A and B are shown apart, each in its own frame.
Chain A
Amino acid sequence: MTRTAFDQQLEFIQQEMLALAMQVERAVERSMTALTEGDMALAHQVIEDDAKVNEKRYEIEEKCLELIARQQPLAIDLRTIASVLHIAVDLERMGDHAEGIARVALMMKDEPPLMSYAGVQRMAEIARRMMLSSLEAFKDRDTARARSICDEDDQVDALYDEVYHELLVLMTEDPKKIERATHLTWVAHNLERIADRVTNICERTVYLVEGKIEELNVSKY
C-alpha cells in the first residue's frame, strides 16, 4: 500500500524548506557584502527580502499543521514534519540575523571601516558552509555528517572570541570608537548565532533518522 498524495505533500514541505534555506543563505551572503563593501542598496534589499523569508516560514508552518490535522502522521512521517517545522523556525531566525547585519551596514554607512573585516568574513564563510552542509545532511539523511558539522561551530565560537577581543581593545584605546565597535560586535554575535542555529538543524536530522532528541554541540555562547 502506498500513500502517494501524502508522500508528495511530505516531499513538498521539504522542498519548500530547502527553498527557504536558499533564501536565507543568500541573505547572509548579501548582508556581509553590504557591510564590507558599503553597499547600501543591497542592505535595503536584504531588509526588504526578510519579509519574504518570514512569509515562506509561515507558509511551511501552515502546510505542516495542515498535514498533521488531515493525515494524522505517525513515526517517520511525524518526525519528518516535526523536523521541518523546527528547521523552518531556525531558518527564519537566521534570516533575522542576516537582516540585523544589513541594519548595521546601514548604521555604519558614513563611517570609515574601523578594522579589517577578515574575522567576521571568515565567520560568515564558515557559517554559510555549515548551513549548506547541514541541509545536504538533512536531504541525504546523513547523521554522521550532521554530527561532524556541529564540531565546526567551535571554529565560529573561537573566531567570535578573537573579533570580540579585538573590538574591546579598540574601545578601550579610543572611546570615540565605542559606538562603531559595538555595532561590529552585533555583527559577530549575529554570525555566531547563525552557526549555532545550524547545529539545531543537525540535531533535527539526527532526530528525523534516529528518533532521538540530543544536543549535538553545546555552544560556548
Chain B
Amino acid sequence: MARLDLETVATRTRDQELQEGDRAATKMSTSGGLRPATEPSPGISFGEPLFVLRDLSFWYGNKPALADVTMAFPVNRVTALIGPSGCGKSTLLRCLNRMNELIPGVRLTGEVTYHSQDIYASDIDPVEVRRRIGMVFQKPNPFPKSIYDNVAFGARVNGYRGDMDELVERSLKQAALFDEVKDDLRKSGLALSGGQQQRLCIARALAVGPDVILMDEPCSALDPFATLKIEDLIRELVEDFTIIIVTHNMQQAARVSDFTAFMLAGEDGAGRLIEYGPTEKVFTNPEEQRTEDYITGRFG
C-alpha cells in the first residue's frame, strides 16, 4: 500500500505558503470557492491548503449527514467548525482521517485530498492516514497505563526505532504537560486531572508524528481553567501543526481559531457549509443572516 508522499510539502517554506495563499485569496469568489469568501485580515493569510474537500457528501445508512461540502483547510492555521448539534461538523471532521469508516453502513461521495493526495484512493492505507492526521476527542481517553506508556504506545506499535525516552519527553513538552508529570512518568494516566488527561491524549497523538491534529470538542469535559490551558496549547501547537477544531463554544472558536466555518443542516438533515471566513470577520460581521442568527443566539 502506498505511503502518503509528503516530500514535496516538507520542502516548502512558510513564506512560499503565505505568498501563494495571498495570491489565491485575492482570486476567491463567494460561490464555489474552496477558501473563505472574504479576504483574511492583514495579520493572517490563508496559506497553503492542506486539505481540499470537493463536493463531499456523507450518509449514515440512508440518512444524509453532509451534502456537497467544498472547502479547503489551510496549513499551520487553526480552523474552527461551528454550528448547532446535528449540523455535520463532527462528521466532517471524521471524514478528514477516515475515522467514519469504522462505523458500519456509511457512504461517502466526493473527494478529500490531503497534501494533494486523495485519502480515499484504493491504494491508501487508512491506518497511515490516521497516523498522519491525529485526533483528540471530547472526553479524555487515556489508556489504563502509565503516562510514559500512553505516550509511547503508538510509536511502539509503529515500530519506532529512535530514542523512546526522548520522544516521550518531547511529546509531553509539546503538549505542555511535561513539567507537571516529569517526576513520575510511571504514574497511571488515569490518575491525572481531566485537563492533564486531555493534554496527555494530545501528547499521545503528537508522538506518532502527525502534521494535523483534529479536535472534537476537546474542552467540553474540562473546567474553565483547564480549557484556557488547552486553548493556549492550541495556539502554541499551530506553529508546527495544522489544527481543526469542532466546538460548541463560540467564544472558544473566537479565541483560538484563525478561520471559522459555520455549518447548518438542511431540511433533509444533511449538514452544509454556510459561511467560511477569517474568524474575526465571521464573529464581528458575518456575510450570512443564518450565521448572524446562530452566533448572536437568535437561531431557530
Contacts and interface: CB of A to CB of B under 8 A. Distances in A.
Contacts of A78: 283-284
A101 to B, nearest CB: 38
B190 interface: no
Interface stretch (A67-75, A129-137, A151-159, A189-197): A67-75
B83 to A, nearest CB: 14
Q: How large is the interface on B (under 10, 10 to 19, 20 to 34, 35 or more residues)?
A: 10 to 19
A212 B298 CA distance: 23
A6 B295 CA distance: 14
Given A1-B297, A1-B299, A72 B251 contact: yes
A29 interface: no
B292 A76 contact: yes
A63 interface: no
A6 B299 CA distance: 14
Contacts of A76: 292, 296
Contact of B300 (A1, A3, A79): A1
Interface string B231-257: 000000000000000000011001000
Given A72-B251, A74-B250, A79 B284 contact: yes
A77 interface: yes
B299 A75 contact: no
Contacts of B295: 74-75
A211 interface: yes
A76 B297 CA distance: 11
B13 interface: no
B49 interface: no
Interface string A1-19: 1110010000000000000
Nearest to A212: B285
Contacts of B299: 1
Contacts of A212: 285
A3 B250 contact: no
A122 to B, nearest CB: 39
Contacts of A72: 251
Contact of B254 (A2, A74, A79, A211): A74
B283 A74 contact: yes
A73 B296 contact: yes
A211 B296 contact: no
Contacts of A74: 250, 254, 283-284, 295-296
A74 B299 CA distance: 13
A211 B298 contact: no
Nearest to B287: A211
B297 A75 contact: no
B286 interface: yes
Contacts of A73: 296
Contacts of B285: 75, 79, 210-212
Contacts of A211: 284-285
Given A79-B285, A211-B284, A3 B298 contact: yes
B67 to A, nearest CB: 24
Contacts of B250: 74
Contacts of B297: 1, 3, 6
Interface in A63-122: 72-79
Contact of A75 (B251, B283, B300): B283
24 contacts: A1-B298, A1-B300, A2-B298, A3-B297, A3-B298, A6-B297, A72-B251, A73-B296, A74-B250, A74-B254, A74-B283, A74-B284, A75-B283, A75-B285, A75-B291, A75-B292, A75-B296, A76-B296, A77-B296, A78-B283, A78-B284, A79-B285, A211-B285, A212-B285
Given A73-B296, A75-B283, 13 more contacts: A1-B297, A1-B299, A1-B300, A2-B298, A3-B298, A74-B250, A74-B284, A75-B286, A75-B291, A75-B296, A76-B292, A77-B296, A211-B285
